[in-house]
Structure 1
Amino acid sequence: VFCMFEDLLIETFVLNSMLVGTVMRKIKSRTWKKQRYFKLQDDFTTIWYKSKKAGNAHSTFSVSDVEAVREGHQSEVLLSIADEFPAERCFTLVFRGRRSNLDLVAESEDEARSWIHGMRKLMENLENMGERERLDQWIGDWFKKADKNNDGRMNFKEVQDLLKMMNVEMNEHHALRLFTMADKSQSGTLEDDEFVLFYKMLTQRDDVLRVFQEFSSDGHKLSLADLEDFLREEQLEADADEDVRQRAEQFIQTYEPSEAAKLLDSMTLDGFLMYLGSAEGSIFNPRRRNVFQDMSQPLCNYFISSSHNTYLMEDQLRGQSSVEGYIRALTRGCRCVEVDCWDGANGEPIVYHGHTFTSKILFKDVVSAVGNYAFKVSEFPVILSIENHCNVEQQRVMARHLDLILGDKLLKSTLEGSAHIRLPSPEELKGKILVKAKKIGGLEDSLNGAVEDALGGEVSDDDEGADIDDDNLHRESVRRRKSKQRLSKELSDCVVYCKSVHFSSFKHSRIHSKFYEVASFTENKARKHLREAGADFVRHNSRQLTRVYPTGFRTDSSNFNPQEMWNAGCQIVALNFQTAGEAMDLNDGLFRQNACCGYVLKPGFMTNPEQRFDPEAPRRQDGHRPVISGQQLPKVNIKEDSIVDPQVRVEIHGVPLDQAKQETRYIENNGFNPVWYDTLRFTIHTPELAMVRFVVEDYDKTSKNDFVGQYTLPLSCVQQGYRHIHLLSKDGTSIHPSSLFVHIRITEMEKLPENP
């Protein structure tokens, strides 16, 4: 009890000091160090800061935007000033999405510790917040924004302004009627409880009320039997392992706010809304959020979340190189990162995009970052894909850094000291970092000790030289020059199960390739093989790993569509993680399942070499049909009088025969609670490979629609019935409480009526 009381006192002291505020240095570089006054706002969710010299200029950020707090010199910027400021006074706030980090130096060690502890506590409180608390906080935030004169109440003019801020165009007469009904005190203003009442009336969910009343025996509540019927008939919970009655009881106890209703084993409309807005009520099946797949199969049987030019934060020509790229990719579940290595000064290899103006970082710093962050979010193996342009001496330095920095994490030998006939599994390789690069000889030669040091005639550049594409002919001359470069035995020995090899043909691979050899293709070459020999490509990938990377012409770090590569069973489909858009939405969607561990088991028909699957000619068919309504969609135009005209597009990504998209009509001037009641239907032939992407846009008659939000997931993870889709930003971060409400049915084609 004393310890708990002591912790409470410390927490109170820390938060009080944050409320008072602190002067700290904001660091952008070794030469850019400015003092800023930081202060926690009274809502305990917003940090406000300003410059003493900038007049009234100030900035804010939400605690919910912060993903992590790093102590000490854990960023390149803070490392650059390590000789000036001790680690105990330094910390970094890491933001969600692609927003730059905030590097800070406090005036004292105690102040730094207070802010580090305080930020983590505030983040923990937000994380533990229930759906109702989150909504109450969101409502409170809008109240403060609309209460222009800060008197704790809102007049009708402020309410009208609020409605526009909240993305809804409402008839003035209707708005005044709701305002008057909510003004119980008849003061001409709305106070806290009255505003909550106004919000409830404003957000009345007729779509949910209709479903509620359909299953309610008395029209006022759902009895335990009513809720059980709803879960079984509409939500198809009968397919779950648990007893449906048990789940109904659990949902009442978890989501019903009324204690009286709980005692009666029943659920009110408020409880029903809370359930539908929860993880159990979402479109993503919660049973697929944990590691649910068999992780004991060979590595080649899994799709692997993979990054291209991981060190780049921007474009491929002048962009910044940073170890932060590795940290961000690994903390997003990425399991294969790329390192382009070149000879550096003072015998230290460097990493950058060769022959460009991108900045340079030290190879040893990259290895340290990988070692520190490889297993923060996933315990399954990380593949270090090395593009080696270094001389033999610096290759030896690379090998030394890998060995000393990674230690036992680095896989240096086969798991049982002898060659196997297949790749090991993610389960067997837990906690291990594998190097993918050129290797002298094969595993058999290494085990027999038959390899000589610095073997001549081995190509030491990697993937991008190993696959000569039509649009990258200049790489051929590079490869020929490099072919005389020697490969050091020390670096070669770091390669065990991922030997980079040149690809000749599927026939040659079938006869000569070893299970540990990895071929790499540009997206164009992979596409060509897919068109000409799709089934052979799938069979090739059932035996060994394949890496696909963007063409050299994507200098803006744009991405290709990964789906077509997954259709061929390619495991390492490398994307530019720093670039938001459809490709990364699909990547995030696929790897959202299985605990975001970075490995997703391929369908069985893609892992059996004896089974023929051609993505160009699939056979089976399923049906999928969603869209009903949307809630609290964000504004996309900063103008206060701008209201969203929302339209929903549902896209199916899969084998070519399944590629499809359909749209709802658009709703004029209502991004707050638009209702469509449109039905969209799709025929899906290979559901095991299908991804579903929901996109909300602001319709525009004269120009391209503006993006509002999206959510992407595998069809196999879709829960049927009435479900909420919690929308994400272009960066893939939550934009709570923005959502869509849909009804979904997936039906075998032969079971559908003749004229659906």
Structure 2
Amino acid sequence: MAAVSKDHKVGVPKIDQPELQAGGGTAGDAAKARAVDYLSPTATGYLKHAYDDVNKRYNLTTAEGRAKWVKEEQQGPDRDVELLQDGSFSHFAAYFTSGAANVMGPIAAVDTSYPISNYFVSSSHNTYLTGNQLSSESNVDAYRNVLRRGCRCVEIDVWDGEPPSSSSSEDEAPGAQKKKKDKPELGIRKRLELRFGRKGASHEEKEKPQAPPKDGDKVTPWISNTSTRAEPRVLHGYTLTKETSFRAVCASIRDHAFETSSLPVIISLEVHTSPEQQEIMVEIMTEYWKGMLVDLPLDPAQSSDKLVLPTLKELENKILVKVKYIPPKPVEEAKPATLQAPSEPLKHTATESTTSSSSEEIPDGLKKPPAPKAKITEALSRLGIYTRAYHFKSLDQPEASIPTHVFSLSEKALLEVHETQPSALFKHNKNFFMRAYPKGLRLNSSNLNPSVFWRAGVQIVALNWQRWDGGMMQNEAMFAGTSGWVLKPEGYRSSSKETTQKTAIPHHNMDLSIEFLAGQDIPKPPEEDNPKNFKPYVKVELHVEKREEREGQPIPGGGKSKAPEYKKKTGTHKTPDPDFGREVVKFEGISGVTEELTFVRYVAVSFRILPCTSFHFVPQPPTRCLLRTACNGHPSPFMFT
């Protein structure tokens, strides 16, 4: 467990200024997030050379020259010309440090006229967690964090609330029974405590009522006519993770769902609660999301069993609930009383299996007991209007043709479907929603490789936003500058006649060269205070569709988020402000490139020399570097990234 707790890629969500963090969509304050306070002397020197070159070709001292450079070479909006003012070097530098010269080109507004299954959705897995999947805290602020970073699909695991404390009025009532002492923790929880050395909550801690969440909303408990009732809670079941309040989660989603985007938010519910607690869930959701929750079809004329998916435009500022669908019970006709054998009891229907810890993937010593088979109530099921969850059996099952259905599969199961039925999977995902989530062995909240699943047409690839790794960096690349919904390439849409992943989108060969000039303020490894003891460098990776993906064959590495086939790095430098000396990194003759679904990843890595000649590699979040890129021989302007 020590290795997990010291994992510097995993951390509690930042409550202060989450809008400045990357993730998967338009940051709440994107302009400030891309700005730089100052330039190092080395970076300033290279920028001065760039200025001299540009000034010779465009004469930035004239209004015409400044406008022409911004339009032709920078491809920026007309308003950026104002940042250059008189065209002097000082204002040229101010233009670059302002973030206007961001490496990202302007993002076209999303076409919202297509049915919602025609888009990729920026999605979070086990959103409530703040770290690893076994022992981290659950925190309502995690929802505020991801929503302000562009996430449009969040997950809530809901369990029955704890009984009221002994000080409640219920215990004071005449004839009230004394509360039995808690039995010692057994099973998976006890084994985890013994294995990882963390103690479970004490009896006193369990009896202590939760303090109201501090999220700008006074959360009051659900109260019946006689006493205070327990309310549903949110946590990762059968682990040591601590809980948070379902009511507080709903309040946070209400307050932050549409701060950075008006496009819809999908709530993926994993329900483990009793029917009574489900009724409270419905009450809380309808109360807190009033005016936003889609609880009835947009077109009243459409019957429940003949709904078609609405367009993205029609769902602006709306919240969709993804929950297991239970057909309404038919109205039974009155029959004359007859003597007959009693009917068999109704079988309980299991909830949708969206947990990331399926038992077959967990080591024997850590296997969880089967999740309780909670029967979904009709009241809760009715909230799944356009996102009705069904248990996946095959792509041929009857539910697979229902327009509003959603299948959720673990990465392992989905890759197996891709290998056995690639064409059927691609055809399905052109028309219907599918969700992929990390397998259960990712206990440290690592991520799958999302681009593999996007290329198979999967719309909702749920990632652990608690961890900043290669998967999350690709998610940022897919959704940066957008509102969390990205229209699929034309061949992937329901209107296309393409039938396979191989033919759905043109593939090209690519030559890519990247010239590195300088970097500044590259973070030192943790526990390192001497800048001379580490050597930073930049690693470059290309995430390109493999031949096996197109052919529906087993994908090398199982689709894991590991280093890709194409990777190179710069030389190392003994300073946090390296001078790369115009070093060029080249990738030549790269085949299988699809512009919309190919990703270039830059990672500033701190290389630290440890005792005993061992080596420690600590990847860090993206850092500002001055660079020049060239793709297929066409150079791009100087820029910051």
TM-score, length-scaled by structure 1: 0.60
Q: Partner of 2:421: helix, strand, or coil?
A: helix
Q: State whether residues 303 and 602 of structure 1, in contact with CA within 8 Å, keep that contact through their aligned partners in structure 2.
A: yes
Q: Partner of 1:680: helix, strand, or coil?
A: strand
| Correspondences of 1:697-708 after superposition (within 5 Å) | 697-699=605-607, 703-708=615-620
Instruction: Specify the alignment match of 2:259 in structure 1.
Output: 376
Q: Distance in 1 between matches of 2:465 and 2:43?
A: 40
Amino acid at match of 1:660: Y
RMSD (Å), alpha carbons:
3.9
Instruction: Specify the alignment match of 1:415 in structure 2.
Output: 298
Deviation at 1:450, TM superposition (A): 9.7
Give the aligned length: 508
Deviation at 1:613, TM superposition (A): 3.3
Larger radius of gyration: 1
1:616–1:502 Cα change, 3 Å: farther
Deviation at 1:227, TM superposition (A): 5.4
| Correspondences of 1:148-187 after superposition (within 5 Å) | none
Deviation at 1:437, TM superposition (A): 0.9
Instruction: Specify the alignment match of 1:428 in structure 2.
Output: 314
1:645–1:495 Cα change, 3 Å: same
Q: Distance in 1 between matches of 2:319 and 2:33?
A: 36
Q: Distance in 1 between matches of 2:428 and 2:104?
A: 32
Q: Deviations over 1:69-98 (max 9, x none)?
A: xxxxxxxxxxxxxxxxxxxxxxxxx79669
| Correspondences of 1:18-57 after superposition (within 5 Å) | none
Q: Distance in 1 between matches of 2:596 and 2:141?
A: 34
Amino acid at match of 1:685: V
Amino acid at match of 1:653: H
Instruction: Specify the alignment match of 1:647 in structure 2.
Output: 537
Q: Does 1:350 align with 2:167?
A: no
Q: Deviations over 1:317-360 (max 9, x none)?
A: 22211211222122222111111122222442222111222222
Deviation at 1:401, TM superposition (A): 1.6
1:680–1:619 Cα change, 3 Å: same
Q: State whether residues 135 and 242 of structure 2, in contact with CA within 8 Å, keep that contact through their aligned partners in structure 1.
A: yes
Moved more, 668-677 or 406-415: 668-677
Deviation at 1:524, TM superposition (A): 0.8
Q: State whether residues 381 and 430 of structure 1, in contact with CA within 8 Å, keep that contact through their aligned partners in structure 2.
A: yes
Q: State whether residues 296 and 426 of structure 1, in contact with CA within 8 Å, keep that contact through their aligned partners in structure 2.
A: yes
Q: Partner of 2:370: helix, strand, or coil?
A: helix
Moved more, 525-534 or 689-698: 525-534
Q: Partner of 1:744: helix, strand, or coil?
A: strand
Instruction: Specify the alignment match of 1:364 in structure 2.
Output: 247
Instruction: Specify the alignment match of 2:560 in structure 1.
Output: none
Q: Distance in 1 between matches of 2:119 and 2:58?
A: 49
Q: Does 1:531 align with 2:419?
A: yes
Deviation at 1:225, TM superposition (A): 6.4
Greater fraction of residues in helix: 1
Instruction: Specify the alignment match of 2:200 in structure 1.
Output: none
Q: Partner of 1:705: helix, strand, or coil?
A: strand
Instruction: Specify the alignment match of 2:392 in structure 1.
Output: 503
Q: Partner of 1:339: helix, strand, or coil?
A: strand
Instruction: Specify the alignment match of 1:151 in structure 2.
Output: none
Deviation at 1:214, TM superposition (A): 4.0
Deviation at 1:521, TM superposition (A): 0.5
1:371–1:458 Cα change, 3 Å: farther
Amino acid at match of 1:610: K
Instruction: Specify the alignment match of 2:84 in structure 1.
Output: 255
Q: Deviations over 1:135-173 (max 9, x none)?
A: 4xx58xxxxxxxxxxxxxxxxxxxxxxxxxxxxxxxxxx
Deviation at 1:410, TM superposition (A): 1.4
Instruction: Specify the alignment match of 2:147 in structure 1.
Output: 330
1:218–1:332 Cα change, 3 Å: closer
Q: State whether residues 125 and 463 of structure 2, in contact with CA within 8 Å, keep that contact through their aligned partners in structure 1.
A: yes
1:450–1:616 Cα change, 3 Å: farther
Deviation at 1:206, TM superposition (A): 4.8
Amino acid at match of 1:324: D
Instruction: Specify the alignment match of 1:51 in structure 2.
Output: none
1:255–1:644 Cα change, 3 Å: farther
Q: State whether residues 635 and 643 of structure 1, in contact with CA within 8 Å, keep that contact through their aligned partners in structure 2.
A: no
Instruction: Specify the alignment match of 1:733 in structure 2.
Output: none
Give structure 1 stretches of 5+ with no counterpart.
Answer: 1-64, 69-93, 99-122, 140-198, 257-261, 711-726, 728-737, 749-756
Instruction: Specify the alignment match of 1:614 in structure 2.
Output: 501
Greater RCO structure (CA 8 Å; 6+ sep) = 2
The counterpart of 2:382, out of the listed 478, 488, 493, is: 493
Instruction: Specify the alignment match of 1:582 in structure 2.
Output: 470
| Correspondences of 1:500-649 after superposition (within 5 Å) | 500-508=389-397, 512-594=400-482, 597-608=483-494, 610-614=497-501, 619-623=506-510, 624-637=512-525, 638-642=528-532, 645-649=535-539
Instruction: Specify the alignment match of 2:215 in structure 1.
Output: none
Q: Distance in 2 between matches of 1:514 and 1:129?
A: 42
Instruction: Specify the alignment match of 2:180 in structure 1.
Output: none
Amino acid at match of 1:282: N
Instruction: Specify the alignment match of 1:315 in structure 2.
Output: 132
Q: State whether residues 58 and 69 of structure 2, in contact with CA within 8 Å, keep that contact through their aligned partners in structure 1.
A: no
Deviation at 1:508, TM superposition (A): 3.5
Moved more, 490-499 or 534-543: 534-543
Instruction: Specify the alignment match of 2:120 in structure 1.
Output: 303
Q: Distance in 1 between matches of 2:43 and 2:283?
A: 65
Deviation at 1:293, TM superposition (A): 1.4
Query: Matched residues, percent identical?
Result: 25
Deviation at 1:284, TM superposition (A): 0.5
Deviation at 1:466, TM superposition (A): 12
Amino acid at match of 2:497: E
Q: State whether residues 59 and 66 of structure 2, in contact with CA within 8 Å, keep that contact through their aligned partners in structure 1.
A: no
Instruction: Specify the alignment match of 2:600 in structure 1.
Output: 692
Amino acid at match of 1:627: E
Q: State whether residues 523 and 560 of structure 1, in contact with CA within 8 Å, keep that contact through their aligned partners in structure 2.
A: yes
Moved more, 291-300 or 218-227: 218-227
Give structure 2 stretches of 5+ with no counterpart.
Answer: 1-13, 23-27, 164-228, 334-344, 548-563, 635-641
Q: Deviations over 1:221-266 (max 9, x none)?
A: 6656665775677x274xx8x7xxxx5xx6554224xxxxx3xxxx
Q: State whether residues 349 and 362 of structure 1, in contact with CA within 8 Å, keep that contact through their aligned partners in structure 2.
A: yes
Instruction: Specify the alignment match of 1:180 in structure 2.
Output: none
Q: Distance in 2 between matches of 1:587 and 1:739?
A: 21
Q: State whether residues 305 and 336 of structure 1, in contact with CA within 8 Å, keep that contact through their aligned partners in structure 2.
A: yes
Deviation at 1:128, TM superposition (A): 7.8
Q: State whether residues 469 and 524 of structure 1, in contact with CA within 8 Å, keep that contact through their aligned partners in structure 2.
A: no
TM-score, length-scaled by structure 2: 0.70
